[in-house]
Structure 1
Amino acid sequence: MMTAIQQPSLAARVTVEFLGTFFLLLTISMVVSQGQEMATNAPLAIGVVLLSLVYAGGPISGAHYNPAVTICLCLTGRSRWCDAIPYFMAQIIGAMSAALLAMSFQEESANMVDPEATVGFVAEAIWTFLLVFVILQVTSARQKNNQWFGMAIGMTVAGGAWALGPTSGAVFNPAVWSGLALEGKLPWDHWWLYVFAPITGGLVAVGFNMVTSLTTKHHSD
């Protein structure tokens, strides 16, 4: 009897490889740019984020995030050669996109009306995107009854605090911002940043989750 097996589509797999490599390189770039004071914690920050990315993307693409890993998995039959080129492209584009974003975080531009607010908004939005994306992935039906979803979510927040704390405060949560603002630890006049950036990032994550949830049917006897 022939049965149909639902598997993640190529679009879903390539999207996950892009996102995983993007956030891996963004984390590396941001923690390294913080200088000697971050040097001790940099490997831990990078490892924490990578662990979350593997948890989130593993069931979809295999969570390669590395062309060398893709080649080795193809050679051992654990990945298909027909996926290699799309994976390579997603990984390289993801890394280059993250590098450009990291450079914009680290350099002030005379063309910006308010560089700190603009960079802060992007930082809060981009990491809230990752947080919501990880939550949606590790709590999805394909990963039902797993025992580690809380660890993946917590590590995503921890990695964000290491990577973007000096840039925006690494809040990722309008409710947390309100408390910190009341304590005088964050400015009230940037309320729009800490309210709308997380909401924007979260909504974009929902859209990406719809793509990574796409499946194709494979028939087996």
Structure 2
Amino acid sequence: MKKLFAEFFGTFWLVFGGCGSAIFASQIAPSSGGQLGILLVGVALAFGLTVLTMAYAVGHISGGHFNPAVSFGLLAGGRFTAKDLIPYIAAQCLGAVASAGALYMILSGSGTPDFSAPGAFASNFYGDAVYFGKSYSMQAAFLAEFLLTAFFLIIIMGATDRFAEGKFAGIAIGLALTLIHLISIPITNTSVNPARSLSQAVFAGEHAMSQLWLFWAAPILGAVFGGLTYRLLLQTHTAVPAGE
């Protein structure tokens, strides 16, 4: 149960910190007033910091997945057991939805939220010109989410490998998630995490829910690919020398 609570709170923090920064702080005042908020770079950093901080806070308890795709990827990579997969995903989704509920309650304190636009409430999207007047097709969004999640798993497995310097794993993983968001916020609002996508779609409504399938399928498939790639092509099987 401690592992599941760790996954619940870790995913809660990821959504609250990452999506919360996008909702409340990404543009706190008109640019004409000289106050730009934290913008894309700040939101990307916020997502990375949530994973970094929780990796050190509870990672030693549950492994610090906070993401159904990561759980699938680690299973494919031989770092996770199948019997724990469904409980972990349930805990992650519950934590994410609970966090989104808290964000919704806070946002409602300033009036009735309007979630009519694509990407509202930090939800994920494809095929809509949300940033810079550009839209990306379903195929482009799928490929971006697939590749970014695959590399995320390669980084996670490499950083936590028994031959790696484990004390810095949380930093590498947190910075990887920051980089992922810097690349893909303009494309899809960045998922690479089905629980994070689910939580925002539940409150954002029909448009986000209709596109949610992609933000489960692409990250999970990408994670499995990344986990298998590391396991079969990169992981060393050399015996650990005596005394190490």
Query: Which TM-score band (shorter chain)?
Result: 0.3 to 0.5
Q: If each structure's strand is expressed as a fraction of its own residues, which one has the higher value?
A: 1
Give TM-score scaled by structure 1 length: 0.44
Higher relative contact order (CA 8 A, sep 6+): 1
Higher Cα Rg, which structure: 1
Give TM-score scaled by structure 2 length: 0.40
